[in-house]
Chain A
Amino acid sequence: DQQVKQNSPSLSVQEGRISILNCDYTNSMFDYFLWYKKYPAEGPTFLISISSIKDKNEDGRFTVFLNKSAKHLSLHIVPSQPGDSAVYFCAASDGAGNMLTFGGGTRLMVKP
C-alpha cells in the first residue's frame, strides 16, 4: 500500500512556463515533506521542504504548497528551465523523523 503517490509519471513543459508536480499521501502521521530532484546516475538531491505547520514554502523559483485536509502537496517551478529536466520525488516523514517514504517520481521534461 503506497503511502505517498505521484500519479503523473511524466510531465512536459515549455521553457519559461510553470511546472506543477503533484503528490498525494495517505498517512496522517506525516508532518514533514520534502522534494528531491534526481539526474541519471546520481543520487537524489534535496530541493525544498515544508513542515505541516505551514501551507507554503518558497525558495527562489521553487514553491511547495501543502493542503493538509486534502493530504496533497505540490511543487511549482517558475519559470521552468531546460536544466530542471529530471525526475522529481516527493517524500514524507512522520513524528519519529527518521526514515523517508518516497513517491514513485515524476519525470519532468522542459523543452527549449
Chain B
Amino acid sequence: GAGVSQSPRYKVAKRGQDVALRCDPISGHVSLFWYQQALGQGPEFLTYFQNEAQLDKSGLPSDRFFAERPEGSVSTLKIQRTQQEDSAVYLCASSTKTSGRDHEQYFGPGTRLTVT
C-alpha cells in the first residue's frame, strides 16, 4: 500500500519567505507527527495530531511555525519569515493507535528545506 508522502521533496527559500510543506499520511492512520532533522542529528519532535486535533505542539521552535490538519488526513507545516536556522529536513510520520497508544511511526521521505 501507499506509504507516507511529502511534498515538495526539496525547497529553497530566501530568508524572510513563507513556506508550506505538505504531508499525506497512510490512509486510516489517526496520528500524525512532524519532526525536524538537522544535518548529522536525529529527528526532533515538532508537533502531533490525533485526527484533526493538534494535541501537542510543544516542539515547535517559535511562533513562526504553524501546523494544521483540518480534515484529519493531509497536514501542512507552515513556516513564516524563514530564517537560516530553519534549514533542515522536515519529516512527517503517521501511526495507528493500539490500546490508546501510538507504537511504530511510519515516516515519509522528508522535505529538505534550505534557507539562503
Same complex: yes
**How near does chain A come to B30, taking the closest CB pair, in angstroms?**
11
Question: Least Cβ distance of B75 to chain A in Å?
Answer: 15
Q: Are B33 and A89 in contact (CB under 8 A)?
A: no
- Cα A93 to Cα B55 in complex, Å, equals 16
A44 and B103 CA atoms in complex are apart in Å by 15
Residues of A within 8 A of B59 (CB): 99
Given contacts A97-B100, A98-B48, A99-B33, contact A46 B42 (CB under 8 A): no
Is B43 an interface residue when CB atoms closer than 8 A count as contact? yes
Q: Which residue from chain B places its CB closest to the CB of A9 in the assembled complex?
A: B40
| Least CB separation from A100: chain B residue | B105
Inter-chain CB contacts under 8 Å: number: 61
B45 and A99 contacting across the interface, CB-CB below 8 Å:
yes
Does residue A45 face the partner (Cβ distance < 8 Å to B)?
yes
Within the complex, which residue of A34, A36, A44, A100 is in contact with B45, where a contact is CB–CB below 8 Å? A100
Please give the distance in Å from A11's CB to the nearest CB on chain B: 16
CA distance A103 to B43 in the complex (A): 8
Residues from chain B with Cβ under 8 Å of A98 in the complex: 31, 33, 48, 55-56, 102
Chain A, Cβ-Cβ closest to B100: A97
Give the residue of B4, B42, B45 whose beta carbon is less than 8 angstroms from that of A43.
B4
Q: 1/0 per position for A1-21, CB-CB distance to B under 8 A?
A: 000101000000000000000
Task: Please give me the residue from chain B that is nearest to A90 by CB atom.
Answer: B42
Tell me the nearest residue of chain A to B58, going by C-beta.
A99
